[in-house]
Structure formats: C-alpha cells, structure tokens
Chain A
Amino acid sequence: MKPAARAPTALWVPAALACALFLLPLVGLCWRTPWPQLGDHLASEAVVQALALSLECSAAAALLALLLGLPLAAWLAAGESRLHAAVRVLVTLPMVLPPVVAGVALLLAFGRNGLVGGPLEAWLGVAFPFTTAGVVLAEAWVAMPFFVLTVEGGLRALDPRYAAAAATLGAGPWRVFRTVTLPMLAPALRAGLLVAWARALGEFGATITFAGNLAGHTRTMPLAVYTALETSPEAAIVLSLLLVLVSAAVLFALRRQWFPAR
C-alpha cells in the first residue's frame, strides 16, 4: 500500500484535534497513575484475581470462537445464497448491538427463566448467570463475529486453484481443507483469534448484565475497573493502564495484518 497523496495543510488542524481527542484520555490515565505504588497495586489480590480470570475467560472465548467460528466462516465463504446473507447479518449483529442489550438478551435466553437456561439447569445442571461459564458465553457472543468475519475474508481471498489442483490430484475435501486451505489461512486465523481475544478481554456490558459481578468468579478486569473506581480510584487507574498496555500489545502484534507493509 502506497501513502495517499499529501493532505492539504488546512486539514492538519482538525487532524491534530482528532489525535488530541484520542491521546488526551491516555495522558489523563498516566497523569493520575500512582507510579510509586504501581507495584503494590499490580500485586494486590484483587488485581491478580481479576487478571487471571480475564485471561482464562478470554482465552476460552477465543477457543470457542475458533471451534465454532471456523466451520461457520468456511460455510459462509462457500456460498452466496439468501440464507448465507441472512446468517451473515445474524453473525454481524453482536458487533453493532450495545453490549448491555446483549447481556439482557443472553439473560432471557440462558437465564434461569430463559428460553433454554431453565431446561439446561434442570437437566444438565449447567447454570450460566452468575457463573464463570456465563462470562465465557457472554465474551464468546460478542467476540466470535470478529473471528468469523476475519476468517471468512481470509477464505475468500484464497486462490481457489490450489484447492482445485489438490482435488485433481486425488485429495478428498477434508484432506484439501487440512493440508491446503488451513495452512494458507494461518495469517487470517491468527488475526481473527487475536482480535476476538482482545474484544473478549475488554468485554464489560454483556458480562456485568448477564454474569454479574463477583470477585474471583465473574469480576473480570473491566468489571474490576468499574468496581474499584468507586472505592479505590488509584486501583482502577492501574487496572485501566494494564488493559491499555495489553490492548496496545495486541495492535502491535496485528499491525502487519491490518496495515500491510508498504
């Protein structure tokens, strides 16, 4: 990708304002960070607990996205029917819905009085609200679309002639998928997993609505920020800073996928 034509000088002022808009909250965060006590805050039990829970749940959500989302992406990439279009809208919906709406909807489906939540709890003993499983479900719900759409894009960009060649050489569809398609898809898979994981890590609205807020069980990092803000703003600031760093690291890892080398 080549740089676009030089922008007129007059546009620099609004462009700088936009940068300031993005930068100022981060500066504010750093400005209020209690640097001398940073280590103590990071080592506190509440932070360690929330961080561990966040990492576990977001990794589980990303794994769920991989297991369920990869087949879905493969199906979506293989057709153009009305059903495909409808499913694509369905998959995209969680990306644009306010997460708190997602939380309410999840409660009505998987809650104790929900569509399937009641039977699930009665027959299998699986309860989602107020459990860590609920956190994973909420995170997977909001994060999987990012994985599916990324991987679908990757699949559509593949040159179909490689798969066709493998097929003419006698490989069955499963073997073609495994030995030709998947290896070529690796960059898209990696990108999809990372972005889904990052979205899951930052999930707040659906989690607090659907899974509640209890330390060690459902209080992930964003919920810990929300809870700490009222009682110990310094701890909330440290947690926020940690989340900013993690997110920035993800962006850095993804820079080649999103901003291809010039």
Chain B
Amino acid sequence: MKGGRVRRSPITTTLGLALALPLTLGACGDEAVAGRRVVVFAAASLAPAFGELATAYERRHAGTRVELHCAGTPRLVLQLREGAPADVLASADEPNMARVVDRHLVVGAPVVFARNRLAIVTAAGNPRGITGLADLARADLRVVLCGPDVPAGRYARQALAGARVAVSSVSDEPSVQAVVAKVRLGEVDAGIVYRTDVAAREGVDMVPLPVEHDVVATYPIAVLASGGDREGGAAFVAFVTSADGQAVLRRFGFEVP
C-alpha cells in the first residue's frame, strides 16, 4: 500500500483478522495519540498530492490525524462495499463513485475537485523514440495499461479508440503506480497514465497526448457514511476544495474546476 499511513495494533488485529479486511484494522491504532482521525481513501494517482494535502490539513487541525489509503479506485470501491470504515473517498472517475453512491455509502453529493490528462510514460530520456499514440502499436514495443475497470485503463482505452490505434497491453495493471513502476524497472517500454503520475516521479519521462486524442479524467470526492468522523470528513473535503487545497493540486499538475 503505497502512501499508506495506516497503523495497526496487534490486539485489534488478532480478533478482527478473520472477519474484516486487513486495511480496516488501522481503525484502532495508536490510542495514545488521543484526538480525531480522518480516514481518506484516494485513487492511486492522487497519492503524492494527497500526501501533501494530508500533512497540510494536519498542520491546521492540531490533534487530528489523516490516515491516507491509496489504491486503484476499483479496489477502494470494493473495500468500501465490504464495509471498510472510511470518512472520505476521492475517486479517479465518476462511474466508480457512482457505484459507491448507489450503495448509499455517501453522505450528500460528490463534488468534482480536480481534473487530469493522459500521457504516455516512457523510460527516462524516451530511449525508444515514442512520439505519440500511434507508436504504441509498434511490434517492437512492450506496452502496459491499467485494467479496463481501473479509471486510468478506461481513459487510456478511450484515447486509443479515439486515435484508432490498436494496442495490446501485455498486462492489465491494478493502478497507475504499478504501470509507472513497470516502466521504471525497464520491463515495459511504455504505458498510458496521467500526466501528474509522470510529473511527480523521477526516472520516467512523458509524451503528452495531442489535444484531439486526449481524455479528461474527472475526480469526484465525497464524505462517506461508513467512517467514524463525518464532520472530520466534511472538513477534509472542504479543505481539498478550498483555494489552498486547490493550489496544492495545481502544483502537482492537476487542473482544478
């Protein structure tokens, strides 16, 4: 779990393990630090930006701890549907957020707080000379995409269909983090992720998509009913959508509404 700040205590783990998802166990960690705890589930592509947002939020709300859990959005949705307690969900697309809303797990209505664009991620220096989507069909290149149900995978397939390029992904990855990791390791030549994924990481380069083939990713955020602190969740959402929160997102390369 990258960006995971979830802590576990052995006592709660023992009894809970058989019944609950391991992640939900973070719920009871660190009793010594009395105070509020806001559990935020965020799409993998938000990990670096939300890490900073969480720190900034904690600075302003002394005694409050933000526990950030980042993973591919469908995985977060699954965990929420199976009862994981969380106060906030930041999804990388609207269909996945709708799956949570349909289960009546959301308080109020989701709001769009950021937008993102796609990019081709390549090894540093773009050694294979990739210039655009059409290159991804080259037989000498190994390309990975996120799975078709992961937002980034769905957006990538939309972009490829729009450009009429047929790409066979060698693996359906669970998150943009996994795609970037495979490119960085050199196991694949290219992948399609968000621009912000490439901008925030070293060891990789990006080829932006031309405007006519680009797809705009829309990120909704919502307060969840399953968590222990709705007020804290609402305050965190308010912070993300505030001018200061939006400035952080912009700094990480997101577009803000």
Contacts and interface: CB of A to CB of B under 8 A. Distances in A.
Interface of A: 20-21, 24-25, 107, 111-113, 129-130, 212-215, 218-219, 227, 229-231, 233
Nearest to B168: A214
B74 A111 contact: no
A224 to B, nearest CB: 11
A113 B72 CA distance: 27
A219 B170 CA distance: 11
A234 B81 CA distance: 13
B75 interface: yes
B149 A230 contact: yes
Contact of B77 (A129, A212, A230): A230
Interface of B: 18-19, 72, 74-75, 77-78, 81, 142, 144, 147, 149, 169-174, 182, 185-188
A231 B74 contact: yes
A21 B19 CA distance: 9
A227 B147 contact: yes
Interface centre among B18, B74, B144 (most CB of A within 10 A): B18
A253 B185 CA distance: 42
B171 A213 contact: yes
A130 B19 contact: no
B187 A233 contact: no
Contact of A111 (B78, B172, B185): B185
A107 B173 CA distance: 16
Given A212-B170, A213-B171, A233-B78, 9 more contacts: A107-B185, A130-B142, A130-B187, A212-B171, A212-B173, A213-B173, A219-B172, A230-B72, A230-B78
10 contacts: A25-B18, A112-B142, A130-B188, A212-B173, A214-B169, A214-B170, A230-B74, A230-B75, A230-B77, A230-B149
A112 B18 contact: no
A24 B186 contact: no
A218 B78 CA distance: 23
A90 B77 CA distance: 41
A24 B16 CA distance: 12
Nearest to A118: B186
A24 B18 contact: yes
Contacts of B169: 214
A230 B174 CA distance: 10
A213 B148 CA distance: 12
Contact of B144 (A113, A212, A219): A212
Nearest to A22: B18
Given A25-B18, A229-B78, A230-B149, A111 B171 contact: no
Nearest to B77: A230
A43 B147 CA distance: 23
Given A213-B172, A230-B74, A230-B78, A21 B187 contact: no
Contacts of B78: 229-230, 233
Contact of A214 (B18, B75, B171): B171
Contact of A113 (B149, B171, B173, B185): B185
Contacts of B19: 24
Contacts of B172: 212-215, 219, 227
3 closest A-B pairs by CB: A212-B171, A230-B74, A130-B170
Contacts of B18: 20-21, 24-25
B186 A111 contact: yes
Contacts of A219: 172
Contacts of B187: 107, 111-113, 129-130
Contacts of A113: 185-187
B143 to A, nearest CB: 10
Contact of A218 (B74, B171, B188): B171
Contacts of A214: 169-172
Contacts of A111: 185-187
Nearest to A127: B142
Interface centre among A24, A218, A219, A231 (most CB of B within 10 A): A231
A8 B138 CA distance: 70
A216 to B, nearest CB: 11
A230 to B, nearest CB: 4
A69 B188 CA distance: 32
